[in-house]
């Protein structure tokens, strides 16, 4: 599931990628979008792949966390696993397996956490014509502190409620695990001091994440079995539009956030080979046909 707001230019690609990786159904919570998201989503809804909910709760009132809790309740008894991600997060298995295939390894656990690999602007000032997965190929170093951030895939019957948008509490006797089966505990982050964020913008490879409130322990970045490519900035044009909704951020804070996250040190086009198949799925859904059987790359 995901909460969305004004993501129309990217919904086709993200949903097609989800379908390609083996996701069978997507719950979307529309947080007061003012673009043409509904029009873009119509064929996906008609195909049965997307279920859309109006979600007008302001983000300052915990809109995303409340959407996660609502989705968790709706999904209990409906699905074996549920991934809680955003439309700028592309979840896949680097092992070359579909998500249902890789998740068979985690039977018996309440869920698994998946580390980010954060991508920067790749030098794009304006929004490029190509897909996200082929246009943005430069990212931060794998072990960057910000890449310790995770999203969760959970068993809805064993997850109790979200802890923010990244982790979940679970039923007694059950835990989330890392991709290599280490039990996960929740620890406090260092978020809350603006000066730390400004410092990190100048020295991005300091050994802490200045934006985290809670973090998983162990503090590792492990992405050999499951991985999320997080296109946190996209182009400079996209990033500027993203900040329009952050009316509580001072201008200096916005500059620091931008500078910190625009990481382009590593060339990693891992998802580029999937671009043609993503286009095929988009064309098929928009022509009101179910796509052909998934092809592994």
Q: Evaluate the omega torsion of the peptide bond into residue 218 and state whether it is cis, within 30 degrees of 0.
A: yes
Using CA atoms, how far apart are residues 36 and 148, in angstroms rounded to an integer?
34
Cβ–Cβ < 8 Å for 116, 230: yes
Sign of the Cα pseudo-torsion (276, 278, 282, 284, in order)? positive
- Structural domain includes residue 142: yes
Q: Please give the backbone phi and psi of residue 76, each rounded to the nearest 5 degrees, phi first.
A: -65, 125
Structurally, how many domains does the chain consist of?
A: 1
- Structural domain includes residue 293: no
Instruction: Identify the residue whose tokens are 């978020």.
Output: 191
Instruction: Identify the residue whose tokens are 């998983």.
Output: 216
Q: What is the pLDDT of residue 249?
A: 67
Length of the chain: 297
How crowded is residue 225: how many other Cβ atoms within 10 Å of its Cβ?
Answer: 17
- Structural domain includes residue 291: no
Q: Model confidence over 73-127: pLDDT tens digits?
A: 999 999 999 999 999 999 999 999 999 999 999 999 999 999 999 999 999 999 9
Q: Quote the domain boundaries for residue 233.
A: 2-286
Q: What is the pLDDT of residue 296?
A: 34
- Structural domain includes residue 53: yes
Q: Model confidence over 29-67: pLDDT tens digits?
A: 999 999 999 999 999 999 999 999 999 998 889 999 999
Using CA atoms, how far apart are residues 112 and 248, in angstroms rounded to an integer?
33
Mean pLDDT, the chain, rounded, equals: 92
- Structural domain includes residue 86: yes
Mean per-residue pLDDT, 194-218: 88
Q: Model confidence over 230-246: pLDDT tens digits?
A: 999 999 999 888 765 55
- Structural domain includes residue 172: yes
- Structural domain includes residue 88: yes
Q: What is the pLDDT of residue 246?
A: 54
- Structural domain includes residue 204: yes
Using CA atoms, how far apart are residues 102 and 263, in angstroms rounded to an integer?
29
């Amino acid at each position: 599931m995901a909460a969305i707001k004004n993501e129309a230019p990217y919904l086709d690609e993200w949903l097609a990628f989800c379908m390609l990786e083996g996701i069978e159904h997507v719950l979307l919570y529309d947080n007061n979008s003012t673009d043409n998201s509904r029009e873009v989503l119509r064929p996906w809804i008609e195909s049965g792949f997307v279920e859309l909910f109006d979600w007008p709760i302001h983000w300052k009132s915990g809109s995303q966390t409340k959407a996660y809790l609502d989705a968790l309740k709706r999904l209990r008894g409906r699905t074996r696993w549920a991934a809680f991600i955003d439309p700028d997060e592309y979840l896949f298995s680097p092992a070359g397996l579909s998500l249902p295939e890789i998740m068979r390894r985690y039977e018996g656990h309440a869920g698994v956490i998946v580390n980010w690999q954060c991508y920067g602007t790749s030098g794009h000032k304006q929004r490029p014509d190509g897909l996200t997965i082929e246009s943005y190929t430069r990212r931060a170093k794998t072990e960057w502190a910000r890449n310790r951030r995770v999203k969760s895939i959970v068993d809805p019957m064993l997850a109790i409620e979200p802890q923010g948008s990244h982790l979940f509490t679970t039923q007694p006797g059950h835990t989330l695990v890392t991709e290599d089966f280490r039990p996960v505990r929740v620890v406090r982050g260092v978020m809350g001091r603006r000066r730390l964020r400004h410092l990190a913008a100048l020295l991005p490879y300091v050994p802490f994440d200045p934006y985290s409130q809670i973090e998983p322990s162990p503090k590792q970045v492990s992405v050999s079995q499951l991985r999320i490519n997080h296109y946190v900035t996209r182009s400079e044009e996209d990033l500027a539009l993203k900040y329009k909704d952050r009316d509580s951020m001072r201008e200096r804070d916005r500059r620091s956030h931008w500078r910190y996250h625009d990481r382009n040190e590593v060339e990693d086009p891992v998802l580029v080979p999937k671009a043609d198949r993503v286009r095929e799925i988009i064309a098929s859904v928009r022509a009101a046909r179910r796509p052909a059987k998934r092809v592994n790359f």
